[in-house]
Amino acid sequence: MVFMYSKQLNEQKYKSMAPTEITSPAANPSVRHGNPPGHYLPAHRALLTRLHNRYTHLALLHLKLLRFLNCRPVMAAVSPAPHSPPKMVDGEPNGHPGTGARGGNVDDGIPVVDFDVLINGTSDQRSQAVRDLGRACKDWGFFMVINHGVPEDLKKEFVEACKELFGLPEEEKAEHLEAEPMAPIRIGSGFYAVVDGARYLRNYLKMFAHPELHCPAKPAKLRDVAAEYSAKTRDMMQHLARAISESLGLDGGRISEALNLDSCLQFLVGNHYPRHTGPGDLGVRLPAHSDPGLLTLLFQDGVDGLQVEHDGQWILAKPLPGAFFVIAGDQLEIVSNGRYKATVHRAVVGSEQERMSFVSMLSPSMDTVVEPLPELEQEGKGLQFRGVKYRDYMAYQQSNKLEAKEALNIVRVQHGDTNGRIEQLN
């Protein structure tokens, strides 16, 4: 089910669980930084897992009490951000990483989905969870998932394999360095993307994982880890897609059938965001954008830096222990005929710590023509998007600058330049 609990309980939990406080010295006073979980010794993992589950149980009980008493969580006073993502100047919005953002967790309203309830809950529990999931997709297009069953050890192995790859000599990565946008394996090393004069520095690995796994030869352990990790996260996202379909009043398999998700394109991404490198580099590592797929699963290495746009404000998202972030992508907005929104987000870093994030993205099969489901046509509004083959959509999005919902807007009906530009995608 989806739940929120009070700021006070959340802060107590992190104080008791997190070994250190991580803050960004470049942070603006309007940004609140919490204590994200660190890495723990293997001998303690089983105990920590039980403690995490106990905290989740207590949080649910606390929520029920708050609702019974008609209490609301305390919200920080912030200045509203612009309606559209702020302009980036030399890789930096308004002067500092996170300016205009507030710290975000469940006390800020970010929904949390208990995956175990969706899979193993009673009929009534699951029905309520599906309704709440629909609200999360409609109101946020972004939520956290707990009790998902993806082992922490597997996540750690994927992290370590990506770190090994980034540490390889350039000549051992040369085959895949800056490959063409639709190559099944792409590696960026010390890569600067330039958007309207702004620079964005990151190292990355992008690899297709389904319907066929493509993997660099080194490090050798990456292939087996990526195969297992992609299978588990793909299964998880397939279940979420089914529940999302039900939340729209459709059969559970409707979205999967329409997007041919049995033959889906899934790819994995490892991102390494270096810390500030000097006065000319002020901390934004990935510009504001929406994702081209259906759903994105993301976890990070204990250093915060994911910001999501919500109600005209930037929220600095801070995860619950072991949770995944789930980001709604462009294809969910299209197939739902705009009922659910793709979420614009960006990545920032501070001057003391580098950051890593890890993505598993579920997308339609490459040859699927994605279009709104006709049963979701809204009275008086019709269908909001034109059909487009996903291969063409993906190629366009990967070949052009990241800028909010740039790719999505060119397939939007009645967009000012739609008719001329839609031909680029077909």
Instruction: Count up the domains in the chain and report the number.
Output: 1
Q: For residue 109, what pLDDT is reported?
A: 86
Per-residue confidence at 287, pLDDT binned at 50, 70, 90?
confident
Q: Is residue 122 part of a domain?
A: no
Any idea which of 48-57, 272-281, 386-395 has the lowest mean pLDDT? 48-57
How many other C-beta atoms lie within 10 A of the C-beta of residue 7? 19
Burial grade of 329 (CB within 10 A; 0-12, 13-18, 19 or more): buried
Calpha distance 226→359 (Å, rounded) = 11
Q: Is residue 22 part of a domain?
A: no
In this structure, is the dihedral angle defined by the CA atoms of residues 214, 328, 401 and 95, taken in order, positive or negative? negative
Amino acid at 361: M
Q: What is the mean pLDDT of residues 357-373?
A: 98
Q: Which residue has the higher pLDDT, 48 or 335?
A: 335
Q: What is the mean pLDDT of residues 126-142?
A: 97
Q: What is the mean pLDDT of residues 40-53?
A: 45
Overall pTM > 0.85: no
Q: For residue 296, what pLDDT is reported?
A: 99
Pairing between strand 142-146 and 112-114?
Answer: parallel
Q: Which residue has the higher pLDDT, 286 or 175?
A: 175
Q: Is residue 77 part of a domain?
A: no
Per-residue confidence at 1, pLDDT binned at 50, 70, 90?
low
Q: Which residue has the higher pLDDT, 424 or 299?
A: 299
Q: Is residue 184 part of a domain?
A: yes
Nearest 5°: the CA angle 277, 282, 285 is 85
Instruction: Look at residue 118 and give its three-state secondary structure.
Output: helix
Instruction: Look at residue 330 and give its three-state secondary structure.
Output: helix
Q: Which residue has the higher pLDDT, 394 or 108?
A: 394
Domain that includes residue 395, residue range: 92-105+155-425
Q: Is residue 315 part of a domain?
A: yes
Q: For residue 40, what pLDDT is reported?
A: 36
Q: Is residue 327 part of a domain?
A: yes
Q: For residue 399, what pLDDT is reported?
A: 80
pLDDT in tens, 387-414: 999 999 999 988 876 678 989 999 999 7
Contacts for 306 with CB less than 8 Å, ≥ 6 apart: 298, 300, 316, 317, 325, 345, 347, 357
Q: Is residue 169 part of a domain?
A: yes
Cβ contact 191:201 at 8 Å:
yes
Q: Name beta bridge partners: 268.
A: 207, 360
Place of tokens 């000319």: 280
Six token digits for residue 51? 């403690």
CATH assignment at residue 374: 2.60.120.330
Calpha distance 230→236 (Å, rounded) = 10
Q: Is residue 245 part of a domain?
A: yes
Pseudo-torsion of CA 207, 212, 215, 220, nearest 10°?
Answer: 140
Q: What is the mean pLDDT of the chain?
A: 77
Q: For residue 198, what pLDDT is reported?
A: 59
